[in-house]
Structure 1
């Protein structure tokens, strides 16, 4: 009987031991093939420590068996084949801004840190720009400004290039569509290690899915070729209001979403809530508008906002790199914390602006002490944006005609919150967002979605994306061994 128990225990522990051993085995194989200069396994190494820092600091706790720093698509291919052979878990990290667990982090597996892949180029004849996935969009913008060009990408300099694979909203989007709409060619390492080109002429199904259809779900993108855009002077800045102006500002946001027809004008309307007592003076609340105009003179585009009494107005002439440093330089880095996103989508009208704001504000008042910061961001999707997307072939969302808008719900929880308390506040926040409802027939925004919102299922193209996923990841290697959006 005792020998039977030992046999049963051994049989139970073998899969666990194999899973734990898979990471080091993959790391050893990768080191042999790529060399020790591209692989770091010590958690005390400063390079390793830097690689496991994330915008959602809760992800910092996970420790990969090693961090691999590929310098080329071939290096990525070698690493993926070694990971597959060892049956190890892994993750792909560019900027590390996605807050969802294991979407760019891994515990006891291989972390592919793409930060060494930073090559960029510009072709003046075609006006096409190329960049590798390492670094952040601020680096990309700084490079192309020398040519008086830019690319459609993140609205904050510190966000990584992987944002474009989730769609990517830009201050230039009302003119040129989402970031993924500007893709012209992608170099992708498939789950089996093949290095392929995806474009409208080569692997067009893979190209379609990679434009906003789930990020690196189909392979690892190792080079982007995109249509660049002119970048001259911008009139841009922030206007900060006290919360007694909330009704006036929400009305101005609603009017902008419904009636603005100037594609050079872009806004983000941000309502902020702090955990401090308001003392009946609204000291725990503020409104920050981000206003950006592609050109030195916005005309009357922002008059509805500038006519409301405000505390501060920083609007002035700026370069595009200065635009993405609003409200302050290094905003992404300084806002690191226990951050989590949720997303909503709404059509204008039916008091949708006020309804969302009021439900969010009521939750904030009822849950003082359970958050460090709440932010509710109104992100317009004008018809000029959806028209620009369609003109370039459309993306995986196949965006219905604007106007409509996305809402980003950010919650930052206190440091050291217990797991039960953390789970309870996240569930409560989830229920509040769900209770606000979403418009039928509109896609949720992957860049702002929580993993449990299953945004791909809101796409009209979901069945097509499932087929493409099966074609390029037939044995579910990526689906089973790394985090990412559900195709189930």
Structure 2
């Protein structure tokens, strides 16, 4: 196959995941032991654990098997922001490596756990509340999106959050794509206030207008390098209760013979649709078993209204369907369409791209992904190519709220996700497989000027460099972490 030939002759320049995240050594272990001993003394053994059932459950909690096999020196289970401050000060004073885990749904190795370091685990900070006076929702960092949407549904509101129930609040720091994004912007665009524990342990509250407005902007898509957010105050969206079927839509499944028609419909939707009431997600999945590929292609289509307008969704509706589950829905039901997606025990891997252009570009991406899937059919449980349209309405909604650090230059493009789930038995990415993934990224590059989506990227992709405000992002980081402590002592989004 063409991909196999290219693999043999390609110049292999990307580092492997293992090289990007090297194991700890005697120095890092010693620093972590010091931090854990100090925290055990100040916070107590109920909040700081190095063994036992709760420790084991937390250490192996990560959705990605790569991260479930790390063994932190100790795990801190904060219950209030002050506990996080105490933990961060001890980590900073001892120079220990550390990581933070909220939703645990990262596909990148080392992004929500640590070896020879301190793990701050937010499993005991999971509250969500609605304030009708300020029309705001307050979230603690340990809550997952299904829990958050369910908690405030009786008030007829919802946060702009993730599309998968098992994903946590870390989604916000990467920007965040939501079923509500076409009308509200990236999920991070809805921030009102953030309580942030800085690298030294100091806590500040950042807003769009106060002295920490630069930090506030950086956290709207800049990831977790700048501090640990212990409270999110976000705008509430009035979506109705579960009794209010104000949305219409659902899932349409297609036969593999409809791939070209579905790709053309997707490209036209991306180029033409700018209705803030409309939202879609198109996924192409190849399930693998016994050396065979079983395609499952779907369009998830929703409209905040009584029906799917044919002027917007007609191309999708005209393609012969294997099954169609469409009807009136509450937002709670919309938010639950993809379920939890919390199947653990697999090595997961993400990659990102972004496309704008004609149908040929989408067809080309599909062909490269199909070739990649066939080449490595024996290595995967499944592979997915997904398209999330980013309309102009989404970009302008974010700008109306003060903008974000992503600073996408325009809408009417598609965020592209490349997801691989390795077959059971593979405990890490073999080098040849990582090389194949790297080549796939080269074959499906982002269109010029478009930002990559941090939450769905590969560790080696230069996400921050794709932001229009990259230089500003570096300046803000230098202000809030002048010693570069986070770069040296965390494992997470790289490139600053």
Structure 1 residue matching 2:123: 3-state secondary structure: helix
Distance 2:313 2:199 in 1: 47
Distance 1:252 1:144 in 2: 35
Q: Determine if contact 1:157/1:321 at 8 Å carries over to the other structure.
A: no
The unaligned stretches of length 5 or more in structure 2 are: 1-23
Q: 2:335 aligns with which of 308, 324, 328?
A: 324
Give how far 1:16 is off. 4.3
Give how far 1:423 is off. 2.2
Partner of residue 257, structure 1: 270
Give how far 1:317 is off. 2.1
Structure 1 residue matching 2:288: 3-state secondary structure: coil
Give how far 1:239 is off. 0.8
- Normalising by structure 2, we get a TM-score of 0.90
Q: 2:82 aligns with which of 74, 84, 90?
A: 74
Distance 2:45 2:444 in 1: 52
Structure 2 residue matching 1:474: 3-state secondary structure: coil
Partner of residue 482, structure 1: 490
Superposition pairs for residues 386-405 of structure 1, below 5 Å? 386-405=395-414
Distance 1:336 1:253 in 2: 32
Q: Determine if contact 1:52/1:105 at 8 Å carries over to the other structure.
A: no
Distance 1:144 1:446 in 2: 27
Q: Determine if contact 1:51/1:113 at 8 Å carries over to the other structure.
A: no
Partner of residue 309, structure 2: 299
Give how far 1:119 is off. 2.5
> Looking at CA atoms only, which structure, 1 or 2, has the larger radius of gyration?
1
Change (3 A) 1:48 1:319: farther
Partner of residue 37, structure 2: 28
Q: Determine if contact 1:267/1:290 at 8 Å carries over to the other structure.
A: yes
Superposition pairs for residues 147-162 of structure 1, below 5 Å? 147-162=155-170
Give how far 1:335 is off. 6.1
Q: 1:248 aligns with which of 261, 271, 277?
A: 261
Partner of residue 223, structure 1: 231
Q: Determine if contact 1:100/1:340 at 8 Å carries over to the other structure.
A: yes
Q: Determine if contact 1:190/1:472 at 8 Å carries over to the other structure.
A: yes
Distance 1:324 1:253 in 2: 21
Structure 2 residue matching 1:460: 3-state secondary structure: coil
Q: 2:320 aligns with which of 282, 289, 309?
A: 309
Q: 1:40 aligns with which of 30, 35, 49?
A: 49
Distance 1:120 1:170 in 2: 18
Distance 2:258 2:354 in 1: 24
Distance 1:270 1:52 in 2: 29
1:206 and 2:219 equivalent? no
Q: 2:346 aligns with which of 322, 337, 347?
A: 337
The unaligned stretches of length 5 or more in structure 1 are: 1-14
Tell me the C-alpha RMSD between the 2 structures.
Answer: 1.8
Distance 1:238 1:72 in 2: 40
Q: Determine if contact 2:63/2:105 at 8 Å carries over to the other structure.
A: yes
Partner of residue 151, structure 2: 143
Q: Determine if contact 1:348/1:403 at 8 Å carries over to the other structure.
A: no
Distance 2:127 2:452 in 1: 32
Give how far 1:294 is off. 2.1
- Normalising by structure 1, we get a TM-score of 0.92
Give how far 1:470 is off. 0.9
Give how far 1:157 is off. 1.1
Q: Which has the higher helix share?
A: 1
Cα deviation, 1:254-285, whole Å, max 9, x if unaligned, reads 12111123211111100011224798xxx611
Give how far 1:464 is off. 0.8
Distance 1:205 1:241 in 2: 46
Structure 1 residue matching 2:120: 3-state secondary structure: strand
Superposition pairs for residues 324-473 of structure 1, below 5 Å? 324-327=335-338, 329-330=339-340, 332-334=341-343, 337-349=346-358, 351-417=360-426, 422-473=430-481
Distance 1:196 1:48 in 2: 32
Q: Determine if contact 1:191/1:478 at 8 Å carries over to the other structure.
A: yes
Structure 1 residue matching 2:248: 3-state secondary structure: strand
Structure 2 residue matching 1:275: 3-state secondary structure: strand
Cα deviation, 1:66-107, whole Å, max 9, x if unaligned, reads 111111111101001111222211100000111112211101
Give how far 1:440 is off. 1.0
Give how far 1:52 is off. 2.8
Partner of residue 9, structure 1: none
